[in-house]
Structures are given as structure tokens and as C-alpha cells.
Amino acid sequence: MVRNLRRRDVLKAAAVVGAGAALAGSKPAAAGEAQEAAGLRQVAFVGTAHVHTPGFVNTVKQRKDLKTKYVWDHDAARAKKNADQLGAKVAADRKEIWSDPEVAAVLICSETSRHEELVLQAAAAKKHLYVEKPLGMGARDAGAMAAAIEKAGVLFQTGYAMRGDPVNLFLREHIQKGTFGTITRVRKSVCHSGSLGGWFDTDWRWMADPKQAGVGGYGDLGTHGLDLLLWLFGDLARVTASIHPVTHRYGDCDEFGEGILEFRSGVVATLAAGWLDLADPLSILVSGTEGCAYQVSGKLYFQSKKVEGADGKEPWTKLPPRLPHALELFLDAVGGKTGLPLVTAREAAARSAVMEALYQASAGHKWVEMK
């Protein structure tokens, strides 16, 4: 299952082994109409550059309720490799996918710089969309994609899987209940040793090229933590950050950073992220006037005056069940399940806008006010 396949596992395994206007003249097909009667949904991969693609290929192969009909990539060898694994056809032209009424949904795992063109075309063709994070290079393209997706009325999902983690579900529940009192201080950290281990030296080199990825190490991992913080605490007032390269293994691509986020609620959070950490033991801290919770090496410690037994001395294990991975939720939704907790296109666009603001703040040594 995807939820058990971490990025470092993907990388180690890999080491061993026109916009919507271009569709003028082709008739968009309602997603999945042709195969509804048979109960089998068909999907297509549009771009397979992302490091998570191998895990997604494995997930789709394991599903009994759908199959992959096409794989397209601007890199023909990459398209063939993934198509062979999926038993799918290589689409020489994306229009073949857009015009096929049997294709209900597309998984866009391309370089981020290609997202806008691909997403606008897919939305115009009324295909449900899983777009690997981040949605856009910044506020402009992400906003345009969100608007097109909303206008098309199709399903959308992206890879913010931290929302389904039991600890994060627990924190959200108790934040909303007021268990922590007035929350003043929050810390989130999402780090690994990718630069130190050369994880982006070969197949995934584009991910360390901000011209293609939109971000470097800070934004790559930080977008996960950013989504979680916005999901937990709501709208931002202003942000600042300090983001830098260190080893220069990937030229001037940034490798780590620290951000400060001031929320309109008064909560102040810090966000650490990057590719330079041998360990990342303290993943989250939430501190308030009546409670405190922090996760160390996967274990949650919880103290609150409002919850019996919450003395913070032993790991807290009364947690909700883990949700399926973000991709699994999307595929379930494509299959007809309703009421699933999908990330909205507008939420995904907001994360791209805030990350862009963090980079602008770092470059200008300033605070950036959020709209």
C-alpha cells in the first residue's frame, strides 16, 4: 500500500532496479460514462516524473476495481517503462486520453512546471484529477488550475497524506474542542537526508531544479507540513522564512529552511523542512494555556487539564484509526464512494501561494502579508 512506502524507500528501490485551448475540435467525454455499467473504472497516468510514481503504479496495479489504459510522458522511455509495468498503452498524443470516454480519471505526476498545461487540458476534458503536490509553481498558475477544476466540476485530490495520520487526526479533534486552551506556540518539522544521500542525483534530478519543481528542499517537504498547519489552524496573517542551500550538491537549489507563520487566530507556528537531516525526531508540537502535545520518534505525548489521564508522562495511545492514503481516497471517490475527505483544488492552490510567499520572504529578508 502507498501509505507504507516512504520516499526514501522509493528512491532506494529505484537505485536498484497545448493548454485547454489545444483541445479545440475534440469533444470532451464525461468521465467514466462508458464503463459505469461494467463497474470497472479506467485511469491514465499523465506524466510519470515524480518520485512517488513507482508507489502509485504499485497501488493502481493492486486495485481490483480499475485498470490503467494509458500512460503518457514527454519522456518516451519513461512512459514505456511505466506502461509496461501497468500493462497499459503508451499514448503518443495526450488528446488520445482526453477524448477517450472510457478514461474516468488521470494521475498527473509530471514535473511541476508542466502541471498547468496538463491540468487545464484534463479539466477541459472533464477528467477527474489526482495531481501530485505541489499543485503549482506559485499563486498564479495554481489559482488558474483551481478555477478550471472547479468550473469543470470534476473530482480533485493531491498528495497531502499527513491529514490521515492518527496523531494529526487526534490533534485536529482536540484543537477544535479547545482542549489546549489558547494555543500560542506550534512547531512542525518535515526533514530527511536526501541531499546527503544523493537521492536526486539521477532519475529524480528535476526535483532539485526549482525551474522545474518550483521549489527546492524546503518547499518539497515543507508543503506537507504547511498543508497540515493550515488544515489545523486556518487562515494566515503573514509569513517569513530563512531558506538556503548548504552542500550545493544541486547547485543553488535550497536544501533547508525555517519559516515563521502568524495565523489570524493569533497562533504562531514554525515550519522546518529540508534534505539535510540525519534524524527528525520531533515532528510536531502544539502548546497552549491548558494543554500540550508533541510527537517524538513516532510517539505522542499529551497533557491537558481537560482530559482525564492526560498527564504527559507516557505515550498517548487513544488515537483514531489511520485513513487510507490520499491516492486511495481519490480512487475510492472515482469508484463512486461519497463523503471522503479529499483536499480541494482551492486548498491546494492556497498552499502553493503561501509557499511562494515564504520563498519571497526569505529572498527579501522580510515579512510577507497574506491576502
Give, for all 371 residues of the chain, the pLDDT tens digit: 333 344 554 454 444 333 443 333 344 445 444 444 356 799 999 999 999 999 999 999 999 999 999 999 999 999 999 999 999 999 999 999 999 999 999 999 999 999 999 999 999 999 999 999 999 999 999 999 999 999 999 999 999 999 999 999 999 999 999 999 999 999 999 999 999 999 999 999 999 999 999 999 999 999 999 999 999 999 999 999 999 999 999 999 999 999 999 999 999 999 999 999 999 999 999 999 999 999 999 999 999 989 999 999 999 999 999 999 999 999 999 999 999 999 999 999 999 999 999 999 999 999 999 98
Given a contact cutoff of 8 angstroms between Cβ atoms, the answer to whether 172 and 232 are in contact is yes
Query: Do 148 and 219 fall within a single domain?
Result: no
Query: Do 142 and 202 fall within a single domain?
Result: no
pLDDT tens readout for residues 89-123: 999 999 999 999 999 999 999 999 999 999 999 99
Query: Do 199 and 346 fall within a single domain?
Result: yes
**Residue 333 forms part of a structural domain:** no
Closest by CA position to 111, among listed 217, 194, 209: 209
Alpha carbon 148 to its chain centroid, in Å, reads 19
**Residue 332 forms part of a structural domain:** no
**Residue 19 forms part of a structural domain:** yes
Domain containing residue 59: CATH number: 3.40.50.720
- State the residue range of the domain holding 149: 2-157
Measured distance CA(240)–CA(303) in Å, rounded: 30
Neighbouring-strand partners of residue 90: 71
Count of structural domains, the chain? 2
DSSP state of 138: S
129-147: b or e for each residue (b if 16 or more CB lie within 10 Å)? bbbbbbbbbbbebbbbbbe
Query: Do 97 and 44 fall within a single domain?
Result: yes
**Residue 261 forms part of a structural domain:** yes
210-228: b or e for each residue (b if 16 or more CB lie within 10 Å)? bebbbbbbbbbbbbbbbbb
Give the CA distances from residue 329 to residues 67, 70, 156, 159, in Å, rounded to whole numbers and listed in that order: 16, 21, 11, 10
- H or E element that contains 90: strand 89-90
Query: Do 147 and 110 fall within a single domain?
Result: yes
Please, is 93 exposed, middle or buried when counting C-beta atoms within 10 Å of its C-beta (0-12, 13-18, 19+)? Answer: exposed
Query: Do 77 and 146 fall within a single domain?
Result: yes
Side chain identity, residue 53:
T
Query: Do 22 and 75 fall within a single domain?
Result: yes
Domain containing residue 253: CATH number: 3.30.360.10
Q: Residue 59 contacts by C-beta under 8 Å, 6 or more apart in sequence?
A: 1, 2, 325, 327, 328, 331
Q: Give the per-residue pLDDT at 39.
A: 61
Query: Do 27 and 118 fall within a single domain?
Result: yes
Query: Do 138 and 213 fall within a single domain?
Result: no
pLDDT tens readout for residues 286-304: 999 999 999 999 999 999 9
**Residue 54 forms part of a structural domain:** yes
Angle of helix 326-334 versus helix 53-62 axis, rounded to 10: 40
First vs last C-alpha separation in the chain? 38
Query: Do 201 and 118 fall within a single domain?
Result: no
Q: Give the per-residue pLDDT at 3.
A: 38
Query: Do 280 and 349 fall within a single domain?
Result: yes
